[in-house]
């Protein structure tokens, strides 16, 4: 069963690597709605769509949002991730802002051996410098796989008939991540970019490709 545990651990980590999220300019967000499309590189090419609704609060503005990301491939809906949560600015000092993000995550991953449905969470904090026309910042966060359901294929069961389908709570199933991000704002539009690195929760297991990038477009209305 050590081989099975290794497979479970590796795939659970893999589920945590889709990190696309909506990047906003806190100094240029007067509209109530923000739609987003983004493209990134994380184990291949990934595309994401998002929608956010900003709640008016002059001191602590916050954005309720939902996102979906899908990797490019022949079977588009075999793997996907959905996020639901929000972002809030918690401190402002002149043009410097500190914001936090908290989201729940549902992920599905398929391969020749197993289908995994996973529930998790994503929490991060960002400190940045924001102007009407441009902004830049640094983000640090933690993406946690909380509980996963494993449905093994007949191919896998033919080699390991003792394997059991069901729910598992991984003891180590998360990643720390950090990134630099920024963007340019014009009218009701933002062009955003981010690049960063992933570090496994145990600080021992190395992701296959720990670097990720993202470019996105926001329209506010």
Residues 8-42: tens digit of each pLDDT: 555 544 544 444 567 889 988 767 899 999 988 76
φ, ψ at 14 (rounded to 5°): -60, -35
Rounded average pLDDT over 61-78: 79
- 64 strand-pairing partners: 53, 86
Q: Is the dihedral of CA 173, 176, 180, 184 positive or negative?
A: positive
170: enclosing H helix or E strand:
none
Burial zone of 56 (CB within 10 Å; 0-12 exposed, 13-18 middle, 19+ buried): exposed
Token digits of residue 146: 């909380």
**Model pLDDT for residues 125-176, shown as the tens digit of each residue:** 999 999 999 999 999 999 988 888 989 999 989 888 888 898 887 656 788 9
129: Cβ contacts below 8 Å, ≥ 6 apart: 95, 96, 97, 135, 136, 137
φ, ψ at 56 (rounded to 5°): -70, 120
187: enclosing H helix or E strand:
none
Rounded Cα distance between 42 and 209, Å, is: 7
Contact 84, 104 (CB under 8 A): yes
DSSP assignment letter at 94: T
Give the count of beta carbons closer than 10 Å to the beta carbon of residue 44: 10
Q: What is the CATH number of the domain that holds 176?
A: 2.40.128
φ, ψ at 156 (rounded to 5°): -70, -40
Domain count, the chain: 1
Helix (H, G, I), strand (E, B) or coil at 2: helix
The whole-number pLDDT of residue 74 equals 59
Q: Which residue has the higher pLDDT, 40 or 104?
A: 104
Give the residue among 43, 1, 2 at the shortest CA–CA distance from 19: 43
Q: Give the residue numbers spanning the domain of 153.
A: 2-220
Rounded Cα distance between 22 and 33, Å, is: 12
Evaluate if pTM is beyond 0.85.
Answer: no
Q: Which residue has the higher pLDDT, 174 or 104?
A: 104
pLDDT at 121 over 90: yes
The whole-number pLDDT of residue 109 equals 85
Give the residue among 10, 18, 43, 8 at the shortest CA–CA distance from 148: 8
The whole-number pLDDT of residue 16 equals 44
Rounded Cα distance between 7 and 182, Å, is: 36
């Amino acid at each position: 069963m050590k081989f099975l545990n290794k497979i479970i651990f590796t795939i659970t980590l893999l589920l945590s690597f889709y990190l696309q999220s909506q990047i906003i300019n806190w100094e240029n967000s007067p509209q109530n709605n923000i739609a987003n499309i983004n493209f990134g590189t994380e184990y291949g090419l990934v595309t994401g769509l998002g929608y956010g609704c900003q709640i008016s609060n002059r001191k602590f503005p916050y954005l309720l949002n939902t996102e979906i990301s899908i990797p490019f491939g022949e079977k588009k809906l075999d793997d996907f991730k959905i996020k639901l949560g929000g972002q809030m600015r918690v401190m402002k000092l002149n043009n410097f802002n500190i914001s936090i993000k908290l989201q729940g995550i549902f992920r599905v991953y398929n391969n020749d051996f197993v289908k995994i449905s996973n529930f998790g969470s994503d929490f991060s904090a960002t400190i940045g410098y924001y102007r009407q026309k441009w902004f830049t910042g640094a983000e640090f966060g933690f993406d946690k796989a909380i509980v996963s359901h494993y449905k093994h294929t007949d191919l896998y069961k033919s080699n390991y008939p003792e394997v059991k389908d069901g729910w598992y709570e991984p003891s180590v199933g998360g990643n720390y991540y950090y990134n630099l991000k920024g963007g340019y704002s014009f009218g009701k539009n933002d062009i955003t970019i981010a690049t960063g690195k992933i570090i496994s929760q145990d600080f021992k297991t190395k992701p296959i490709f720990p670097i990720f990038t993202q470019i996105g477009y926001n329209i506010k209305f």
